[in-house]
Amino acid sequence: MNKGKLIVISGFSGAGKGTVVKGLVEKYGYSLSVSATTRAPREGEVDGREYYFKTEKDFRSLIDYNGFIEWAQYVDNFYGTPRKFVEDELEAGRDVILEIEVQGAMKVKKQYPDAVLIFICTKDAETLSERLHKRGTETEENIKKRIARAAEESESISEYEYVVINDELDKCIDTVNSIIISKHCRLEERIAFADEMVAGLKELL
Ligand code: 5GP
């Protein structure tokens, strides 16, 4: 059986990548990795669903036990991808989505060279700022930090294989799904299939 693929989805805070990821899970059944974070839960967030909410001490001990595939600091908090879930899902042949920021994505790319890296963008900078303000979950100071971080992250877009603009949500979800499907159809993924086909055809002669 083929192993699953790691799908890394990054994008500026406010680009709507969380909603895109939710759509991919609901509409196409992808497996989603739940990260650990030291950030406080936002209203409506549930431990174990949006994140595993950890103290800094617990987070650091998970780092020490090699419990993360990658971890990074983002604005004032730590975020990390728990190793076990991802490894088990890939082994079982399921594609796993990681919704993570750029530093973490680069670490994943090194460890899993065939991971699919996708960057989600708004159509322009003004739209990003508008969305962050409308969300109403962050302070003005935090929004400024997130925009500064977006400016930094924009320099790493060239490290990604695909850039998808999230202007219309449904279209964006379908585009990302098509990218993943096309990855699975690449020849290197289909070698065993091609060999079997050749053998099967020869038997027919
Ligand atoms: P937020 O605080 O808005 O939920 O997330 C802030 C940023 O952290 C987002 O860009 C999100 O994608 C990223 N993030 C969430 N989980 C992880 C993780 O496990 N690792 C890394 N490197 N970034 C993460």
For a pocket test of ligand 1, which of 17, 45, 99 has the largest count of ligand atoms closer than 8 A to its C-beta? 99
Angle subtended at Cα 11 by Cα 10 and Cα 13, rounded to the nearest 5 degrees: 120
The CA distances from residue 61 to 8, 75, 108, 157, 163, in Å, are 25, 21, 20, 31, 35
Measured in Å, residue 189 CA sits from the centre of ligand 1 at 30
Q: Express each pLDDT in 35-66 by its tens digit.
A: 999 999 999 999 999 999 999 999 999 999 99
According to DSSP, the β-strands at 77-82 and 96-99 are: unpaired
First-to-last alpha carbon distance for the chain, in angstroms, is: 28
**CA triplet 55, 60, 61: central angle to 5 degrees?**
100
Ligand 1-lining residues (CB < 6 angstroms): 13, 35, 39, 70, 72, 74, 79-81, 99-101, 103-104
Q: How confident is the model at residue 1 (pLDDT cuts 50, 70, 90)?
A: low
Rounded to the nearest angstrom, the distance between the alpha carbon of 194 and the centre of ligand 1 is 39
Q: Is the pLDDT of residue 132 over 90?
A: no
Check residue 102 and give its pLDDT.
93
Task: Please choose from 74, 84, 139 the residue to mutate so as to test ligand 1's pocket, defined by most ligand atoms within 8 A of CB.
Answer: 74
- pTM beyond cutoff 0.85: yes
- Mutate which of 101, 132, 153 to test ligand 1's pocket (most atoms within 8 Å of Cβ)? 101
In this prediction, residue 146 has a pLDDT band, given cuts at 50, 70 and 90, of confident
pLDDT at 196: 94
